[in-house]
A = this chain, B = another copy of it.
Amino acid sequence: MDTNLIREELVSALAWRYATKRFDSERKISEPDWNVLENALRMSPSSFGLQPWRFIVVKNAAVRNSLREHAWNQPQLVEASHLVVLAARTSVDTTYVDHYLQLVATERAIPVETLAPYRGMIVQFVENLTNVGQIEAWTTRQTYIALGSLLTAAALLRIDTCPLEGIDPKQFDAILDLPRQGYSTKVACALGYRSADDAAAGNKKVRYQRDAVFSVVE
């Protein structure tokens, strides 16, 4: 595609998006669009490629209502076309690392032994983080990369989003039965189409000027 066109699309999409408060509950994201959004999450970069995350797409209306009770009663949780909960692994052990490296070896058709130096580096890194109690903070940050990818991809498709941090992770975990699977809720995102009634849609987007957020070391 023409580079000028892509530049323009990126700039206009990011100016267009905002944290949507009221979604049009009648409008649903099409399957082709949703596939692209799932792909944006799944292909998202993560440290060492470990993908220490799980994305829970909550379709069930009763479950969405329950989650809403633990999210300051925000209507987005039930009105949006889609609700996805981004969860992170609560631990990363050598078993998980080996599971991942076996996939790498299979996909690249190489003996897993050739990955031994890489394995050593990863294991040392995650063991250090585990020892200082920072492993979950680190897996959490990876899910936020995925969130950033998702929000940008959605904007390009002119799909509205509302990232949701104002949620009670422990209650979400319980409702979604995540701890038993080794995951914990980190953030959620409602996706769909803004309602004509959303007062927030008319608010001017506010960002600091370039000089307030960028420094250049010449």
Contacts and interface: CB of A to CB of B under 8 A. Distances in A.
Q: How many copies of this protein are present in the complex?
A: 2
A216 B43 contact: no
Interface residues of A, number: 74
Nearest to A14: B43
Contact of A216 (B11, B57, B156, B217): B57
B9 A1 contact: yes
Interface in A69-85: none
A162 B132 CA distance: 26
A162 to B, nearest CB: 9
B42 A208 contact: yes
A3 B35 CA distance: 13
A165 interface: yes
Contacts of A1: 5, 9
A205 to B, nearest CB: 8
A108 B206 CA distance: 8
Nearest to A44: B148
A65 to B, nearest CB: 12
Contacts of A148: 44, 144-152
Nearest to A166: B125
B208 A51 contact: yes
Given A57-B216, A59-B217, A153 B45 contact: no
Interface in A150-206: 150-153, 156-157, 163, 165-166, 176, 187, 203-206
B103 A206 contact: yes
A204 B108 contact: yes
A79 to B, nearest CB: 17
B36 A11 contact: yes
Interface of A: 1, 3, 5-7, 9-11, 14-15, 17, 19, 32-33, 36, 38-45, 47, 49, 51, 53-60, 63, 103-104, 107-108, 125, 137, 140-142, 144-153, 156-157, 163, 165-166, 176, 187, 203-208, 210, 213-218
